[in-house]
Amino acid sequence: MFVSRAARLKTAKTGIFGIFASMFFRQFFDQPLAQASYMIGCQATGEAIVVDPLRDIAPYLRVAADERLRVTHVTETHIHADFVSGARELVAATGAHLFLSAEGGAEWQYGYARADHATLLHHGDVIHVGNIRCDVLHTPGHTPEHLSFVVTDTPRAVGPMGILTGDFVFVGDVGRPDLLEKAAGVANTMDAAARTLFHSLARFRELPDYLQVWPGHGAGSACGKALGAVPFSTVGYEQRANWGVSETSESAFVAAVLDGQPEPPRYFATMKRINRDGPAVLHGLPQPPRLSPSILIDGDRERWIIDLRPAEQFAEAHVPRSLSIPYTKTFSTWVGSLVPYSVDIVLLASTAEMASAATHDLCMIGMDRVAGWIEPAEAMRTWTEAGRALSSIPQLTVSALAECSAAGDAPTVIDVRGESEWRQGHIPNAVHIPLGDLFERAGILPAGELVVQCQSGTRSAIAASVLKRLGRTKVKNLVGGYSAFTQA
């Protein structure tokens, strides 16, 4: 049930009394995205709401069935930039009612809200899920339309229990206000958004100290710069330990919140558009088929080959023009930042399980065109049997680089770290191009030998494969990166 602002006081006086079943609460945390979603249910009525669902809705359906709950309400705190929302997917599977923000002005309205018969939410509205009450707060700053939800288990009559803060307040940090400008390309919005966020935090400090804080992200997310790894907190603790919540000077807050923010992954702009206009409903995530390696010989350059093996294996030998993006927790971030959404993807994966997991992670960010997978050894064998040569990436040590420089034959060093890392120190005469920008800016690089480096060697291994795909033949990876350089 939904209650508008106009009816809120009347409904508050006519709550359900005499039913003292416990509230059900579950956090779902996705490690690659460092994203948290939530299911809150009324065990008296069997109704449940899911907040900020991912596109993979199987975990929500499984928990609801286990707990004898029905997903009757679905909502989200804002138009997400880092993953495809699963709200439409979950509504299609359950018949639940959709609730979406109507705050933030005309430019930040959900384009599919009317078609999906969504209830539009404003500050002061209330959503009732059985005996669970969710009070809607407009908390702009990270995004203009951002909402938070104060949750109360009404039969207990002791006041609210917690607040779902989305990307507004994290454990130890606050949502970054620069994404609209840096990721979505909305010019000259950072300063104003930072000031809006400051005033939203002033209202946050007025909430009860005991109120639990249930954030939308944890450590590892690009939606903040210093997120804690602890899953929950309280308003009172964040007032003491969270630099953004405790800062009461507006000018100091604006300067601090905009300083040192990492570059957002390049796919964030695409995510904003997809989530605003309406993600496609998949009715279940696809499983990638195993492909014949002969497709690698057909010369289709619109098909991108992503090699999931460890970087050192790729460096030894690989199919030319393939990208080395090892299957780690940053896999989807780098694929989303480097590979166009308009192309078909073939994964080189060691097992069907790895291919399935990688496809899952790509679907989470809307990269739905995974054609299938091939086992790497089989792919390379087919390539060589067709009379074609494999490629490799030589590894260069810091001492060998120094010897080249001393001999007057220094290669061009490409630093692919982020802006804040570069400002803290870099190899003399290096060219700075962050990894996410490499495809666009590689044309500025001089002819001759290139040596790629990052902080430790992980990103530079990916960057070396990018340069090889672009046709640069003399590319080496600096072993140990800038860390090895500073230690030498």
Q: Where in the chain is the domain with CATH 3.40.250.10?
A: 293-385, 395-487
**What does the pLDDT read at residue 354?**
97
How sure is the predictor about 229, in pLDDT bands with cuts at 50, 70 and 90? confident
Residue 9: how many other CB atoms lie within 10 Å: 9
Tens-place pLDDT, residues 128-176 = 999 999 999 999 999 999 999 999 999 887 899 999 999 999 999 999 9
φ, ψ for residue 159 (rounded to 5)?
95, 180
Residue type at 427 in one-letter notation:
I
- By the 8 A CB rule, do 427 and 456 touch? no
> Which of 100, 68, 103, 66 shows the shortest CA–CA distance to 85?
100
d(CA 477, CA 418): 17
Percentage of the chain beyond pLDDT 70 is: 94
Q: What is the mean pLDDT of residues 50-72?
A: 97
Question: Which comes out higher in pLDDT, residue 302 or 281?
Answer: 281
Count Cβ neighbours within 10 Å for each residue of 205-238 and write b for 16 or more, e otherwise. eebeeebbbbbbbbbebbbbbebbeeeebbbebb
Instruction: Check residues 87 and 407 and name the one with the higher pLDDT.
Output: 87
pLDDT, position 242: 96
Domain 293-385, CATH number (from 3.30.750.24, 3.40.50.150, 3.40.50.2300, 3.40.250.10):
3.40.250.10
Residues of the chain with CATH 3.60.15.10: 2-277
Instruction: Please give the Cα distance from 462 to 312 (Å, whole number).
Output: 11
The CATH code for residues 395-487 is: 3.40.250.10
Report the distance separating Cα 204 and Cα 235, nearest Å.
Answer: 8
**Residue at 450: amino acid letter:** L
Rounded to whole angstroms, the Cα distance separating 177 from 257 reads 8
The mean of the pLDDT values for the chain is 91
The tokens describing 81, both together, are 């930039």
Ranges 222-226, 273-277, 412-416: which has the least confidence: 222-226
User: Which neighbouring-strand residues pair with 290?
Assistant: 373
User: Residue 2: is it exposed, middle or buried by C-beta count within 10 angstroms (0-12/13-18/19+)?
Assistant: middle
Q: Which of 318, 323, 321, 327 is nearest to 381 (CA)?
A: 318
Q: What is the DSSP letter of 447?
A: S
- Ranges 173-187, 257-271, 280-294, 307-321: which has the least confidence: 173-187
Q: Residues of 406-424 as b/e, b for ≥16 C-beta within 10 angstroms?
A: eeeebbbbbbbbbeebbee
0.85 cut: is pTM over it?
A: yes
What pLDDT score was predicted for residue 46?
97
| pLDDT the model gives residue 20 | 41
Q: Which residues are registered as beta bridge partners of 348?
A: 307, 374
Superfamily of domain 2-277: Ribonuclease Z/Hydroxyacylglutathione hydrolase-like (3.60.15.10)
The rounded distance, in Å, linking the Cα atoms of 363 and 370 is 9
